[in-house]
Amino acid sequence: MNNIDLSLVDWSRAQFALTAMYHWLFVPLTLGLSFIIAFMETIYVRTGNEEWKRITKFWMALFGINFAIGVATGLILEFQFGTNWSNYSWFVGDIFGAPLAIEGIMAFFMETTFIAIMFFGWNKVGKGFHLLSTWLVAIGSNLSALWILVANGWMQFPAGMKFNPDTARNEMVNFWEVLFSPVAINKFLHTISSGYVLAAIFVIGVSSWLLLKKRDTAAARKSMIVASAFGLLASLFILMTGDGSARAMAQYQPMKFATMENLYEGQQNAPLAVFGLLNKDEAEPGHDKMNILAKIEIPDVLSYMAFLDPNAYVPGIRDLVHGNAERGIPSYVERSESGKQAIMALGDYKRARAAGNDSLAIASLAIFESNYHNFGYGYYASRDVHELVPNIPMTFYSFRIMVFLGIHFLALLLVVLILSVKDRIGNKKVILYTALWTIPLAYIATMLGWIVAEVGRQPWVIQDILPTIAAVSQLKASSVQITFWIFAVLFTGLLIADIGILTARIRKGIETS
């Protein structure tokens, strides 16, 4: 793997990141707004108040625009698996196949039936059945997200599978271990609840605009009450799921955790750096050490966050790269040697099988299986092991900005809820403008969350098993560049259309719904 074209890997990664980020611009609003609409329609059905019907239809129209423009943008990711990441695609085929197939079937049934009833069924089906359809759209779209996130969770913590050396594919041996892996569950709950908060911020932001324009004021205030209550509960839930995610990360992806916290030297009673400025320490090999200037720390919190014990030892980047015998942590050089043995044993096994040498095949398979957990490290046996350290500043800053924005959202949702319930929100211009300008911040926060999750686990496509350099297809980097720019143009066009149609519909207001 020394002769791998790194520009091919970088362009393939950039293309996937671009597509995933554009796709993610549409998804969280769908996830959250579907539930907010369902709550609004429930109020309409229970009270019979026609204003709630207009409110529901207004937000449903915005949901529909976002859904229509965003639908199928995720399919491009699957094309990229087959073209740009063929080794990976083959390697994980059976594990990814099941969740993605379930997702496809669920999305198909949901999109063709219940969304049609939700939009076309007003006054054609009973109120109760229409409401049921709206709830099923919300539940269905969130369950659809479950399967994608389970697949992603498996990449972060591969469980419930066994590698078949004859077919070169991982095969699922325990579906429940894949579905209920601690990483997958935390990822699903944390991701969907971030979508709920984003949707709540969207609703209160758009409602704020209506209030600032003195339009549909009663309906805008009612929308704010539902959205802020929903968003507030989701924000509190995010704190819990974020805590769970951090603990799962410390256990299963310690390098990501150390990088996110810029913890170079492992320590007991590790403090949490609330904020600080990173400064590269040029003296350290690999430049993995970054000093934190002007930092604010809370003692013991990092140890507690990672292992629910303020005295717990949290391994640092240095421990993981260079090893720590006292703590039983092998170095990356040792893991690379073990991985190299696994790679060579796999080749020996295949050759022995082809030659009909069963005893050599059995012996090679035994070596392979005992070293498989380090398989991916083998690609770094003749490379610089510091390549196994993710981008520290990007992960460190992304995490902190995301958390600060999360606190801002929580406070804003609380203030908006109180003022809306008391009917005093209409004349609070600072709050209304803040809510309006928080809409883009909500999108930024959710993107930063993905940056922490995905940049923080580099270079792994599958944690410890398959790095990007081994997963990529042997294409020309120039062809990946061309499609990168095609996507950039296509998605930017879709985004402009989305924003244009959304704002045109918002300008019409709620009463026209």
Partner 1 sequence: MHESIYICIFGQKKFYPALKIIKSIFSFYLEGFRNMTTGRKLWVIIAVKLFLIFIVLKLVFFPDFLESRFNNDRERGNWVIKELTKTN
Write out the residues near partner 1 by the rule CB under 8 A. Answer: 1-3, 61, 64-65, 68-69, 71-73, 75-76, 79-80, 82-84, 86-87, 89-91, 116, 119-121, 124-126, 128-129, 165-169, 343-344, 346-347, 350, 382, 470, 473-475, 479, 482-483, 486, 490, 494, 497, 501, 504-505
Cβ proximity to partner 1, 131 vs 448, nearer residue: 131
Q: 372 Cβ partners below 8 Å, 6+ apart?
A: 163, 342, 465
- Closest distance to partner 1 from the beta carbon of 397 (Å): 34
Residue whose pair of structure tokens reads 């229970």 in the numeric block: 46
Helix boundaries (H) for 48-172: 50-70, 75-83, 86-109, 115-120, 127-156
Cβ proximity to partner 1, 246 vs 343, nearer residue: 343
165/495 Cα distance (integer angstroms):
44
Closest CA to 178 of 96, 78, 89: 96
Cβ proximity to partner 1, 6 vs 168, nearer residue: 168
- Closest distance to partner 1 from the beta carbon of 191 (Å): 24
- Closest distance to partner 1 from the beta carbon of 479 (Å): 8
Beta strands in 160-229 (DSSP E): 161-164, 169-172
Cβ proximity to partner 1, 146 vs 342, nearer residue: 342
Cβ proximity to partner 1, 421 vs 494, nearer residue: 494
Cβ proximity to partner 1, 73 vs 144, nearer residue: 73
Cβ proximity to partner 1, 272 vs 501, nearer residue: 501
Q: In 227-264, which positions are buried (b, 16+ CB within 10 angstroms) versus exposed (e)?
A: bbbbbbebbebbeebbebbbbbbbebbbbbbbbbbbbb
- Closest distance to partner 1 from the beta carbon of 36 (Å): 19
DSSP 8-state symbol, 324: B
Cβ proximity to partner 1, 331 vs 473, nearer residue: 473
Beta strands in 108-263 (DSSP E): 161-164, 169-172
Cβ proximity to partner 1, 74 vs 271, nearer residue: 74
314/271 Cα distance (integer angstroms):
10
- Closest distance to partner 1 from the beta carbon of 474 (Å): 8
Residue 462, phi then psi, degrees to nearest 5: -120, 120
158/177 Cα distance (integer angstroms):
9
How many Cα atoms are found within 13 Å in the side-chain-facing hemisphere of 94? 15
Q: Compute and round to an integer the Cα radius of gyration of the chain.
A: 25
- Closest distance to partner 1 from the beta carbon of 275 (Å): 41
Beta strands in 246-404 (DSSP E): 267-268, 272-280, 290-298, 313-314
- Closest distance to partner 1 from the beta carbon of 151 (Å): 18
- Closest distance to partner 1 from the beta carbon of 84 (Å): 8
- Closest distance to partner 1 from the beta carbon of 83 (Å): 5
- At residue 198's C-alpha, the angle toward residues 12 and 212, to 5°, is 130
**DSSP symbols for 423-465:** T--TT-HHHHHHHHHHHHHHHHHHHHHHHHHHHTTTTEEETTT
